[in-house]
């Protein structure tokens, strides 16, 4: 059967223009097969409620859509350039298998609201993956911080030696930052959790479409009320998801930079095991931190994905514009890259070796300059005078026990009182949230059973 485009009106588009306008949608949309089938089942059930389809029609459509989704998961479902996208490919198959019934599925909807609901259903599953991965990494870092909480480590500002610190404090800082990143992911999930179906091309349809019923079937928390905003929000919601990914990526990039520097032989604070490094084609001795370097690079790629989506929709007029097509690839790439980077970092922290002797060797006298000034303050000297006295006698400062310096820092969140239990509580609570996301996604997938 010759592919029939959803907008076919009896003429052929110039081949150069056709290939240009299709872009890579026919490849990217292979990720959207199950989402499109889910949206189509819910839409068919809504059409039944509106009197457009019969119960028998819905049963037949549902069975075939379930088969298409299964083919998609198995890699058997194909989308051709001629078909343009997943919507056309699925409708063509429905028409091929079910005849006239297949031609009815698009009643009261547009590719506009199809694309949006597909992206949101796809994103729902990615939220589960992203949340699970980030919280797994956070817990790995928490355990690392707890294991090394009393190992001294020179704290640095401007990359220069500053004050006594610990490996636990260093790792715990990244732990808490990642947990804040998860809150951004959770916010993006809530904004994604609204159903656009029934908005059609942005202006609704003169049929009794029960949009709340559709939203309930697909597990959305609410209907995206204004039908024009449903279209206008394409790109916006995705950019918010990518903004959360950007914050994660920046944290992972900065952690990578720390680990690259601190694992250099000149520091030797940490050692990357051989299985986390790669070699040189010419220098036999090389063990390169390529995974960490690529996390740094991919963080910039994730930022670029976000900026691409924001840049595309920033100056568009209201209503649908074909420009939106260009956001899909950036969203898919950005989210997948973020998950991949977090997984590599999780493996890194699970295998990272800490060299306590090297860390202790960094504690020269000047590291305790501020501690000495505060000792003078405790003796009644003003801080400014104590500061100047210590500054004038830096060459006379002796290193004291870094263990004592850590123990003396008992304020909440300091090296001697990390309160890692607070992060553990956050991880437990956040995992419950991700489980709810997972359970909801699984429940909605039953539409295809």
Q: Is 256 a catalytic residue?
A: no
What is the length of the chain? Answer: 449
* Three-state DSSP class for residue 323: helix
Gap between the Cα atoms of 308 and 301, Å rounded:
10
- Given the residues 40, 43, 158, 423, the one annotated as active site: 158
Which pairs with CB-CB distance under 8 Å and at least 24 residues apart come from 292-296? 292/256, 292/259, 292/260, 292/348, 293/256, 293/260, 294/344, 295/252, 295/253, 295/256, 295/341, 295/344, 295/345, 296/253, 296/256, 296/257
- Sign of the C-alpha dihedral computed for residues 254, 258, 259 and 260 taken in this order: positive
Buried residues in 345-361 as b, exposed as e (16+ CB within 10 A): bbebbeebebbeebbbe
**DSSP output for 410-435:** -STTSTT---HHHHHHHHHHHHHHHH
Gap between the Cα atoms of 423 and 434, Å rounded:
16
Task: Report phi then psi at 401, rounded to 5.
Answer: -70, 120
Q: How far is Cα of residue 375 from the mean position of the Cα atoms in its chain?
A: 46
**DSSP output for 119-187:** HHHHHHHHHHHHHHHHHHHHHHHHHHHHHTTTSEEEEEETTEEEEEEEHHHHHHHHHHHHHHHHHHHHH
CB 185 within 8 A of CB 159: no
Q: Is 158 a catalytic residue?
A: yes
For the chain, how are helix, strand and coil distributed in percent, rounded to 5? Answer: 65, 5, 30
Gap between the Cα atoms of 137 and 132, Å rounded:
9
For residue 43, CA distances in Å to 97, 195, 197 come to: 19, 12, 8
- Token code pair at residue 238: 């995705």
Q: How far is Cα of residue 384 from the mean position of the Cα atoms in its chain?
A: 47
* Three-state DSSP class for residue 331: helix
- Given the residues 280, 301, 318, 438, the one annotated as active site: 280
Please identify every residue annotated as catalytic: 158, 280
């Amino acid at each position: 059967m010759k592919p029939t485009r959803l907008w076919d009106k009896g003429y052929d588009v110039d081949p150069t223009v056709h290939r240009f306008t299709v872009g890579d949608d026919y490849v990217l949309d292979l990720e959207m097969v199950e989402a499109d089938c889910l949206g189509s089942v819910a839409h068919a059930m809504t059409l039944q409620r509106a009197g457009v389809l019969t119960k028998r029609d819905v049963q037949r459509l549902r069975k075939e859509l379930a088969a298409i989704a299964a083919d998609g998961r198995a890699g058997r479902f194909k989308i051709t350039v001629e078909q343009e996208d997943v919507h056309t490919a699925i409708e063509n198959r429905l028409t091929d298998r079910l005849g006239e019934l297949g031609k009815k599925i698009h009643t009261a909807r547009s590719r506009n609201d199809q694309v949006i609901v597909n992206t949101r259903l796809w994103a729902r599953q990615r939220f589960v993956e992203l949340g699970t991965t980030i919280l797994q990494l956070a817990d790995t870092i928490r355990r690392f911080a707890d294991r090394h909480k009393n190992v001294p480590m020179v704290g640095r500002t401007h990359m220069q030696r500053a004050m006594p610190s610990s490996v636990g404090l260093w790792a715990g800082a990244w732990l808490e930052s990642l947990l804040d990143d998860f809150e951004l992911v959770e916010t993006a999930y809530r904004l994604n959790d609204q159903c656009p179906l029934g908005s059609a091309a942005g202006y609704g349809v003169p049929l009794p479409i029960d949009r709340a019923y559709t939203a309930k079937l697909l597990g959305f928390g609410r209907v995206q009320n204004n039908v024009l905003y449903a279209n206008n929000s394409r790109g916006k919601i995705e950019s918010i998801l990518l903004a959360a990914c950007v914050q994660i990526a920046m944290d992972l990039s900065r952690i990578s930079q720390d680990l690259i520097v601190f694992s250099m032989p000149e520091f030797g604070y940490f050692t990357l095991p051989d299985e986390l490094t790669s070699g040189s084609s010419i220098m036999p001795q090389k063990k390169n931190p390529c995974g960490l370097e690529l996390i740094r690079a991919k963080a910039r790629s994730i930022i670029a994905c976000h900026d691409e989506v924001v840049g595309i929709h920033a100056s568009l007029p209201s209503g649908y514009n074909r420009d939106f097509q260009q956001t899909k690839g950036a969203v898919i790439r950005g989210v997948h890259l973020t998950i991949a980077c977090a997984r590599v970092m999780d493996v890194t922290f699970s295998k990272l070796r800490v060299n306590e002797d090297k860390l202790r060797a960094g504690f020269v006298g000047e590291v305790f300059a501020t501690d000495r000034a505060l000792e003078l303050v405790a003796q009644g000297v003003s801080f400014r005078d104590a500061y100047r006295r210590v500054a004038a006698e830096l060459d006379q400062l002796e290193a004291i026990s870094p263990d004592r310096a850590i123990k003396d820092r008992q304020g909440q969140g300091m090296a001697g009182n990390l309160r890692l239990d607070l992060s553990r509580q956050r991880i437990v609570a956040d995992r419950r949230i991700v489980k709810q996301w997972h359970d909801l996604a699984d429940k909605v997938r039953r539409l295809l059973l």
